[in-house]
Amino acid sequence: MPLNNKRIFLGFSLTAQQTQKIALIQSKLPDNVRLVPKANLHMTLAFLGRISTHHLFQLNQHVSLITKTTFQVTLNELTYWKKPKIVCLKGSANDTNLLQLANHAQLMAKKLNLHQSEYPYTPHITLCRKAKPEIETLIKHIRYQPLILSPKQLHLFESFPGKNSVEYPIIESWVL
C-alpha cells in the first residue's frame, strides 16, 4: 500500500463538557483496559478506510454535497462489543437527520469504492480498547449520566499511530 494513503473516517467531536462526562465514566472502568485518550473521544459517523491523497479531493467534494442537518442523539447505554474488544457508550439512531447523514455517508463510500459498514449505524463513543469479556458484567453496575449530543460540525478525521497512541487530527470540517 502506498505510503501516502490516509486512514480516514467521518465523525463528530465532543465539547469540553461532554469530554469530561466521558472521562468520569472511563474512571469507573478497570485498570486493565486501554482508555481512549480524551483528545481522541468522538462519535463516528462512518469509517471510510484508506484513501490516497490523490482521491482525498474527490472525497471532500462528495462530502460537501451531502445534506448536512443538525440532529440530537442520546448515548445512554454502556456496552461491550466482543469482536473489536471495546466498551462504548451507545445510543439509538432515532433522529431522521442523523440516519440520513449515516445513509448518505454509506452511499458515498460505495460510490467512491471506500469501506462500507456491514452493520446498521449505531451512534457510539468508544471508551476503551482491549477489553476482556468479563467487563460485560462489570459495566452493568456502573452508574452514569446519559450523554446528549447535538453536534454543529461534521469532521473528516485521519487516524494514524502517534508517539504514545493513535492520533485523530481533523482534515476538513463542514457546518451542519
Given a contact cutoff of 8 angstroms between Cβ atoms, the answer to whether 103 and 45 are in contact is no
Report field, pTM of the whole predicted structure over 0.85: yes
Output the pLDDT for position 23: 97
Mean pLDDT of 144-161: 95
Buried-exposed string 21-32: b where 16+ CB fall within 10 A, e elsewhere: bbeebbeebeee
Q: What's residue 161's pLDDT?
A: 86
Give whole-number Cα distances, 174 to 40, 119, 148, in Å. Answer: 19, 25, 20
- pLDDT of amino acid 151: 97
Separation CA 8–CA 159 (nearest Å): 6
Q: What is the pLDDT of residue 3?
A: 53
pLDDT digits (tens, 9 = 90+) for 97-122: 999 999 999 999 999 999 999 989 99
Distance CA 133, CA 84 (A): 11
- Cβ distance 26 to 35 under 8 Å? yes
pLDDT score at 1: 42
Average pLDDT for residues 84-92, to the nearest whole number?
A: 96
72 secondary structure, DSSP code: -
Residue range 154-168, pLDDT digits in tens? 999 999 888 777 889
- The residues, ordered by sequence, that sit 6+ positions from 35 with a Cβ below 8 Å of its Cβ are 26, 29, 127, 128
Mean pLDDT of 138-151: 96
In the chain, the N- to C-terminal Cα span, in Å, equals 34
For residue 2, pLDDT over 60 is answered with no
Over residues 139-163, mean pLDDT:
94
3-56 pLDDT per residue, tens: 578 999 999 999 999 999 999 999 999 988 999 999 999 999 999 999 988 789
